Amino acid sequence: MDAQYNPKVVEANAQQHWQQNQVFKAVVDSNKEKFYCLSMFPYPSGRLHMGHVRNYTIGDVISRFQRSQGKNVLQPMGWDAFGLPAENAAIKHGVAPAKWTLENIAYMKNQLKQLGFAYDWDREVTTCQPEYYRWEQWFFTQLVNKGMAYKKKSAVNWCPHDQTVLANEQVHDGGCWRCGTTVVRKEIDQWFIRITQYADQLLDGLDQLPGWPESVRAMQRNWIGRSEGLRIRFPLPQAIAGLEHLEIYTTRPDTLMGVTYMAIAADHPIAQHAATLRPELADFISECKAGGTSETELANQEKKGMATGLFAKHPISGQEVPIWIANFVLMEYGTGAVMSVPAHDQRDWEFAQAYGLPIQQVITGQQGEVIDLSQQAFTDKGVLINSGELDGLDFQQAMDKLAEVLGAKDLGSKQVNYRLRDWGVSRQRYWGAPIPMMTLADGQQVPAEDFPVELPTEVVMDGINSPIKNNPEFEQTQWQGQAATRESDTFDTFMESSWYYARYCSPHYQEGMVDPTEANYWLPVDQYIGGIEHATMHLLYFRFFHKLMRDQGLVQSDEPAKRLLTQGMVLAETYYRSQNGTKEYYTPEQVDLTKDDKGRVIKALLKADGQPVEIGGMEKMSKSKNNGVDPQALIDLYGADTARLYTMFAAPPEQSLEWREDGVQGAHKFLQRLWRAVTAFAEQSKAPALAKTELNEAQKATRRKVHETLQKVTQDYAERFAFNTVVAANMELFNHLSRHELNGPQDLAVVAEGYQVLLQLLAPICPHICHELWSLLQQGDILDQPWPVLDSEALVRDSITLVVQVNGKVRARLQVSATATEEEVKALAFADEQVQKFAPQDKVKKAILVPGKLLNLVVAG
RNA sequence: GCCCGGGUGGUGAAAUUGGUAGACACAAGAGACUUAAAAUCUCUCGAUCGUAAGGUCGUGCCGGUUCGAGUCCGGCCCCGGGCACCA
């Protein structure tokens, strides 16, 4: 065996062994407990990035650990292959999206194989292939037939110059990324799925997911945003645009008597009507429509409004309330109108201040304290005042009373409302799964009956319009003998990623979306791993789709994944120069760093011109910041085990990971030391059987370290996902073993046991080197070994270190017998010089003993 | 703006249930080996005062609870993620 660690050879050997023996092929076996470990599949952007390496290493470590615990593990991989970047690449490089995507997949698949991930490649799924999306199309038509999918008007980002729809990321500072033209919101017909009908199930289901991080559950709870309030109708003096009332929803009905104006969306029918009467309103309405559809943009824009000159009647007082058009009210949320109470809502308060509208206090504190409304609104719930017969009521009493009073007049009722909106699945793009619908001559919408509705792949992109739009070859078709026009919008790519986990169970099944035998065995997913950025959207659609599939009789469980691990981002240092307000970023290779005497980076110079560049700090690795580290270079230089070890050691999985080249070298050095030590040890004469009862102190100490490590590491893998401390504990164990002097046969026996345990503990993280080194010490494949058994007798200690504190400060450390009583411990403590100095026995008022840990003596100040 | 995280030495981090702050590494410094370098091995390594023993301070900031707070509570600052057409 080579004395030098050569990862290229070691890794190729191990990977060949796994492939030849088909060791990661997952087969249904009702006698074994299954474990389905799923990592979020990648978008095939070209090459793997460090975020992928991190995500998939975590998944692989969990999979390999679970396998070592005797589980029947399924770990699949596939490609989220539809999406916008393929269209951009097509335009930029003149290559069709399908070709570009498939080439990327081939390259990235090879990279994943080099990293040694234990995937069952026979279950690979590629979402842009018709055999995948045909089932998604079929499923959508089932939803249409059930009334779960419908078409309605909804706003998109529209570039008036290019006459095209833009994604949010294609809108830069309110303008089109290509031509800079101010983007406007335009209403177009689009398909929606009724996720709001499942809002309560999605909310209640969160309580059944103790294996999901509380932060993700909190974000989903807030995203769904269940609220209880009143739907209130403000009568209009005369009907406007066919409406007799202006209808609003409020969660603060207790403030109803403080309403001083109404605010409606620019798209509201009343606003449209008002604009026909007053041209300046029409101008204001088009101004309101400028800008993108994103909530960030809407929340940050300056609040603007204009009075319509129209009034609504207050449902209780009958007073006239002016109706304003406001740019922060959106037609798509609720009823497109709100009642405004500037005294008790901060946004309304600011709006009232800006436009000189009256502020009427109707809520006061519980003790009737004086409220100052001159600086800000008072938004706490309290007691009603200035509200006629409602005076003195609290929030709940006021809501109940108003529901009763308004209900009697048919002007209001209690209502549960959700922030969650129905899922818009239409995209006006080419590279997606065609929406399987047709429009007949009379405008009727009918679902396709034959699947797949195939997306043509031999296309030329013009950079603006989808090649399947206004394309008679694609659009003209027949439905039951009638001429029909195909829908030329495609699905949101969140559709594909909402059910891929189920398709992995039977990726080649021809008879339906999922094979019930496989699905019922493998589902639900036992462990899901992916980025925290997916906390609300993907993970909510994923849970929703599972419930839709359950209600279609395709799967049996209520939730798709039992446990979820959200891994942090991979960050790296950025270097840039600012020119005319834009930043030009440089790669780490392009700069030289100057450090101070403590090793802190204080200056960065561009190699090209020797002039300084700005140090931008740690940011998420990305192309635009030029700070991405290509995992390929890392694999080529150090091997897969080093890449895997470093990503696991550098930070706990849920935190962001700061990339540092010298840390990678450190991980590599550890593997080199391990290699040298084990190969040298394997050349020693063969170790005899371990004689547990005949060990000397050093041998006992080493065995204790081995079994302490076994205990800690097993727990860290299984319960805490603390892979960084797994690595640290294994390093500690290695340091101990490599320093254990080999003086006799029992030293060999103890150290042999130690190295075998170490290799098994480390194998999920560094599988190649452990595979190879195991073969030097023992027969058989390390993958097939039963997990080491903890010897609790090896853990026993005769004496322990006990800390003595005085008023919480450490003053002494005592070696005491593990069985010492409280009296014995105190006697020892008071015999200590330091303890006597700070805590003379007669001054001690209280003593707190934490057995096995510390004694705290409390003395008077 | 709203929701969710995070902040500990020169650096990445550890401290699992409120009980010894800094495990394990990286960087740096010193030494051994070497003709030399690389590699390897050994030692030092939070700040500060002290010859030393040891003292004092120290987990973003301010305050609180407790015998005891990195950990719990209240307020604030900074950084990151998400906000429905990037995936």
Model confidence pLDDT, tens digit, residues A166-182: 999 898 888 898 888 99
Confidence of residue A506 (pLDDT cuts 50, 70, 90): very high
Residue A861 has a pLDDT of 59
Write out pLDDT tens, residues A802-850.
999 999 999 998 888 888 888 899 999 998 888 888 988 888 899 999 9
Whether residue A43 has pLDDT greater than 80: yes
Q: Which nucleotide is nearest to A809 (CA to C1')?
A: B68
| Cα gap A425→A191, rounded to integer Å | 6
Q: Lowest-confidence range among A219-228, A440-449, A609-618? A: A609-618
Write out pLDDT tens, residues A441-472.
999 999 999 999 999 999 988 878 899 999 99
Confidence of residue A609 (pLDDT cuts 50, 70, 90): confident
The pair of three-digit structure tokens given for residue A304, joined into one six-digit string: 């603007």
Whether residue A582 has pLDDT greater than 70: no
Give the residue with minimal CA–C1' separation from B27: A599
Whether residue A575 has pLDDT greater than 80: no
Residues 490-509 of A with CB under 7 A from strand B: 492-493, 497
Whether residue A370 has pLDDT greater than 80: no
The answer to whether the C-beta of A127 is closer than 7 A to strand B is: no
Residue A722 has a pLDDT of 96
Residue A577 has a pLDDT of 78
For the CA of A176 and the C1' of B29, the distance in angstroms is: 56
| Cα gap A850→A69, rounded to integer Å | 35
Give the residue with minimal CA–C1' separation from B45: A598
Non-local CB neighbours of A199 within 8 Å, separated by 6+ positions: A224, A226, A418, A420
**Residue predicted with more confidence, A506 or A622:** A506
The answer to whether the C-beta of A761 is closer than 7 A to strand B is: no
Q: Lowest-confidence range among A191-195, A447-451, A566-570, A705-709? A: A566-570
The answer to whether the C-beta of A156 is closer than 7 A to strand B is: yes
The answer to whether the C-beta of A458 is closer than 7 A to strand B is: no
Mean pLDDT of chain A: 92
Residues 270-329 of A with CB under 7 A from strand B: 293-296, 299-300
Confidence of residue A596 (pLDDT cuts 50, 70, 90): low
Q: Which nucleotide is nearest to A216 (CA to C1')?
A: B4
**What does each C-alpha distance from A783 to A14, A167, A264, A692, A778 come to in angstroms?**
11, 47, 65, 27, 12
The answer to whether the C-beta of A427 is closer than 7 A to strand B is: yes
| Cα gap A319→A262, rounded to integer Å | 13
Residue A205 has a pLDDT of 97
Q: Which nucleotide is nearest to A432 (CA to C1')?
A: B85
The answer to whether the C-beta of A652 is closer than 7 A to strand B is: yes
In strand B, the nucleotides that come within 7 Å of a protein beta carbon are 1-6, 10-16, 19-21, 23-28, 39-42, 54-56, 67-69, 79-87
Q: Which nucleotide is nearest to A169 (CA to C1')?
A: B86
Sequential DSSP letters for A345-374: -HHHHHHHHHHT------EE-TT-----TT
The answer to whether the C-beta of A801 is closer than 7 A to strand B is: yes
Residues 13-42 of A with CB under 7 A from strand B: none
Q: Lowest-confidence range among A558-562, A579-583, A627-631, A756-760? A: A579-583
Q: Lowest-confidence range among A253-262, A606-615, A689-698? A: A606-615
Q: Lowest-confidence range among A67-71, A522-526, A577-581, A716-720? A: A577-581
Q: Which nucleotide is nearest to A661 (CA to C1')?
A: B26
Q: Lowest-confidence range among A183-187, A432-436, A726-730? A: A183-187
Q: Which nucleotide is nearest to A85 (CA to C1')?
A: B86
| Cα gap A34→A418, rounded to integer Å | 38
The answer to whether the C-beta of A845 is closer than 7 A to strand B is: no
Residue A602 has a pLDDT of 67
The pair of three-digit structure tokens given for residue A179, joined into one six-digit string: 């031509």
**Residue A94 CB-half CA count within 13 A:** 0
For the CA of A731 and the C1' of B16, the distance in angstroms is: 19
For the CA of A805 and the C1' of B21, the distance in angstroms is: 15
**Which of A376-380, A589-593, A726-730 shows the highest mean pLDDT?**
A726-730
For the CA of A449 and the C1' of B44, the distance in angstroms is: 77
The answer to whether the C-beta of A616 is closer than 7 A to strand B is: no
For the CA of A641 and the C1' of B64, the distance in angstroms is: 49
Which residue from A673, A663, A664 is spatially nearest to A638, judged by alpha carbons? Answer: A664
Residue A339 has a pLDDT of 95
Confidence of residue A401 (pLDDT cuts 50, 70, 90): very high
Residue A595 has a pLDDT of 65
Sequential DSSP letters for A658-678: E--HHHHHHHHHHHHHHHHHH
Confidence of residue A270 (pLDDT cuts 50, 70, 90): very high
The pair of three-digit structure tokens given for residue A216, joined into one six-digit string: 């993700």
Q: Lowest-confidence range among A141-155, A359-373, A660-674, A680-694? A: A359-373
**What is the gyration radius of the CA atoms in chain A, in angstroms?**
34
Rounded to the nearest angstrom, the gap between the alpha carbon of residue A546 and the centroid of all alpha carbons in its chain is 18
Residues 239-268 of A with CB under 7 A from strand B: none
Confidence of residue A597 (pLDDT cuts 50, 70, 90): low
- Spatial strand order of the sheet with A482-486 comes to A445-447, A437-440, A482-486, A476-479
Residue A752 has a pLDDT of 96
The pair of three-digit structure tokens given for residue A44, joined into one six-digit string: 């095939």
For the CA of A40 and the C1' of B38, the distance in angstroms is: 43
Residue A598 has a pLDDT of 59
Residue A833 has a pLDDT of 86
Residue A546 has a pLDDT of 98
**Residue predicted with more confidence, A366 or A664:** A664
Whether residue A620 has pLDDT greater than 80: no
A858: three-class secondary structure by DSSP = strand
The pair of three-digit structure tokens given for residue A392, joined into one six-digit string: 């003195």
Look at the block and give the residue holding tokens 């829908």: A487
Residue A581 has a pLDDT of 56
**Residue predicted with more confidence, A684 or A622:** A684
CB A806 within 8 A of CB A839: yes
**What does each C-alpha distance from A424 to A190, A428, A444, A495 come to in angstroms?**
7, 12, 20, 10
The answer to whether the C-beta of A723 is closer than 7 A to strand B is: no
Non-local CB neighbours of A656 within 8 Å, separated by 6+ positions: A568, A569, A570, A571, A618
- The pLDDT > 70 percentage for chain A reads 97
For the CA of A650 and the C1' of B11, the distance in angstroms is: 11
- The pLDDT > 90 percentage for chain A reads 75
The answer to whether the C-beta of A152 is closer than 7 A to strand B is: no
Write out pLDDT tens, residues A288-320.
888 888 888 888 888 899 999 999 999 999 999
Whether residue A221 has pLDDT greater than 70: yes
Whether residue A144 has pLDDT greater than 80: yes
Whether residue A718 has pLDDT greater than 60: yes
For the CA of A100 and the C1' of B30, the distance in angstroms is: 57
Confidence of residue A518 (pLDDT cuts 50, 70, 90): very high
**Which of A242-246, A326-330, A375-379 shows the highest mean pLDDT?**
A242-246
Q: Which nucleotide is nearest to A802 (CA to C1')?
A: B20
Residue A622 has a pLDDT of 72
Mean pLDDT of all residues in A498-502: 98
Mean pLDDT of all residues in A322-342: 90
Residue A300 has a pLDDT of 83
CB A384 within 8 A of CB A392: yes
Instruction: Indicate the pTM of the whole model.
Output: 0.94
Whether residue A570 has pLDDT greater than 90: no
The answer to whether the C-beta of A419 is closer than 7 A to strand B is: yes
Write out pLDDT tens, residues A647-682.
999 999 999 887 877 889 999 999 999 999 999 999
